[in-house]
Each structure stands twice: as C-alpha cells, then as structure tokens.
C-alpha cells in the first residue's frame, strides 16, 4: 500500500475560513497533507513568511490531525512537491476565474513534472467569495472581517492594520 502525500500550496496571507475548509477536506483524501506556505511578492504580503507559517500552524492545530504538516517554501511548486514526496497537489477553486487560472497553471506544472497530479476542490458554497486579498482590503478600510477568518486571525489582521494605519474616510 502506498503512502499518499498531498501538498496544498498558498500564500495564506492571511489564512481564511475558505483555506481551512479545503485543508479539512483535502486531509481526508491523502495519508499526509503538507500545507506549503510560499512567498509571492506580487501579492504584497501583509505578514512575513515566518508570521504566515506560524498562523497556519496554529490554525491547523485546531483541526487536531497528526497527518497535517506546515512547511514553508520558496521554489517551483513541482520541485517542492517532489522534495516532499507528494503525488498530489490540492488546489481550492472558488469560481470560474480561479478555474481558468488554475487550469493554465496545472498545464504548465504537468509539463514540469507529470508524476504529480492536481486535484481541484470547490470551496464550500458559503465560503466561495472569501479571498485573502479581499479580507486584507476590507480590514485596511476599517471593515469587519470576522465572517471570513477565525477570531485569532481577525485579531492579528486588525493589529497589523492598526500598526500600518487604516485608509479611507475618517469618521
């Protein structure tokens, strides 16, 4: 019997309830799930790599599964997957726009390493609109983000926004 390892990559800046949904469900499909926290400077991260890794580790600990690990990486996804011994990459899809991007990315990744399959999971319908980018934007403009992230993550984002300074109309 083969030990099936899956990788769920992302920037997780911050980790959202949508991410947690994909992690919980993805963990049921493999023997070991590695959450790969990566750097993407194009996404203007609010939190450092180490901060994001710590956030994800803390949130994943709440699931209580011994077969989920969090690993930081800064390389091609297929190289990371190979180094972890993964046979599957799990990607969350919120809608058509995500699918188009992920479809192209999967085709390129397949050219790089055809031994790793990509598995798409649709986010729960109630969580599909949630995106880290939008969570940050709402927080920066003083909106409430408690519907989109756990209380701990909400507090960290709010604290960071207070440090950086809110934008928008002063009331």
- H or E element at residue 96: helix 96-112
- Within 28-95, residue ranges assigned H as helices are 49-61, 77-84
Compute the distance between CA of residue 42 and CA of residue 9 in angstroms, rounded to an integer. Answer: 16
The question of whether 132 is a catalytic residue gets the answer yes
- Which residue, chain included where needed, has tokens 């809110």? 166
Contact 35, 56 (CB under 8 A): yes
Q: Which of 91, 132, 136, 154 is catalytic?
A: 132
The question of whether 19 is a catalytic residue gets the answer yes
Q: Which of 3, 43, 67, 115 is catalytic?
A: 43
Q: Which of 19, 52, 136, 154 is catalytic?
A: 19
Q: Which of 58, 94, 160, 166 is catalytic?
A: 94
The question of whether 110 is a catalytic residue gets the answer no
Buried-state track 94-123, b at ≥16 Cβ within 10 A, e below 16: eeeebeeebeeebeebeeeeeebebeebbb
Catalytic residues: 19, 43, 94, 132
């Amino acid at each position: 019997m083969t030990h099936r390892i899956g990788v769920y990559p992302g920037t997780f800046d911050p980790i959202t309830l949508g991410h947690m949904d994909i992690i919980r469900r993805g963990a049921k499909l493999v023997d070991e799930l590695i959450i790969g926290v990566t750097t993407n400077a194009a996404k203007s991260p609010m939190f450092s790599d180490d901060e994001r890794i710590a956030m994800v580790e803390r949130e994943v600990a709440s699931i209580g599964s011994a077969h989920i690990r969090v690993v930081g990486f800064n390389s091609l996804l297929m190289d990371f997957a190979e180094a972890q011994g993964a046979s599957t990459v799990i990607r969350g899809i919120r809608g058509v726009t995500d699918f188009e991007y992920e479809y192209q990315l999967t085709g390129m990744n397949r050219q790089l390493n055809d031994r790793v399959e990509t598995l798409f999971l649709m986010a729960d319908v109630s969580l599909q609109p949630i995106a880290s980018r939008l969570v940050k934007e709402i927080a920066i403009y003083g909106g409430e983000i408690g519907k989109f992230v756990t209380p701990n993550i909400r507090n960290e984002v709010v604290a960071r926004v207070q440090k950086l300074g809110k934008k928008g109309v002063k009331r």
